[in-house]
Amino acid sequence: MLKRVAKHPWSLEEAEYLERCWLLLGELYIQAGSQQQAADLLHRVITHNQSSAKAYELLGMIAEKEKNYLKASHHYQQAWNLSGKTNPGLGYKLAYNRLKSKLYAEAVSTCQQVLAMHPDYPKIKKDILDVAMPRLRS
């Protein structure tokens, strides 16, 4: 059913419904390993709604699976900004991909932002902050 909706042209009256369907189908494609099909759908969502944090998050997941950490961190940064920098899970993903991209200062900054809002989120401190801090000095 979702595949039929994916072929449906965008219209203002059905915009919210189509966006939700395209995001859901994009998630299903990612789970099935069809990254290119998912990316096409997600770019379609972004074309019509540039403030879709979920679309950017899913594009980040695709880039992360392809081990393109710099691109993933860019997409996660977009999602992080659009979500108002309040989602600690997105902050963790952003900091992790910045760490993998060897952007240690940015990773530390993101960790500090997450910990400032969610001090009870110790996983980011242990997994990312404690790894990135020593690498800043070297």
For the chain, what are the domain ranges? 1-50, 70-138
> Quick one: pLDDT at residue 53?
94
Confidence of residue 18 (pLDDT cuts 50, 70, 90): confident
**CA-to-CA distance for 138 and 135, rounded, in angstroms?**
5
pTM, entire model: 0.89
**Radius of gyration from C-alpha coordinates of the chain:** 17
SS3 assignment for 6-22: HCCCCCHHHHHHHHHHH
> Quick one: pLDDT at residue 1?
65
Per-residue DSSP letters for 79-135?
HHHHTTT--HHHHHHHHHHHHHTT-HHHHHHHHHHHHHH-TT-HHHIIIIIHHHHHH
Q: Which of 118, 105, 36, 46 is nearest to 79 (CA)?
A: 46
**CA-to-CA distance for 70 and 63, rounded, in angstroms?**
8
Q: Which of 25, 95, 32, 88 is nearest to 60 (CA)?
A: 95
Q: Is 9 a residue whose pLDDT tops 90?
A: no
* Contact criterion met (CB below 8 Å) for 114 and 121: yes
Its CATH architecture, for the domain 70-138, is Alpha Horseshoe (1.25)
Other Cβ atoms less than 10 A from the Cβ of 54: the count is: 19
Q: What is the pLDDT of residues 95-105, one digit of tens each?
A: 999 999 999 99
Q: What is the pLDDT of residues 31-89, one digit of tens each?
A: 999 999 999 999 999 999 999 999 999 999 999 999 999 999 999 999 999 999 999 99
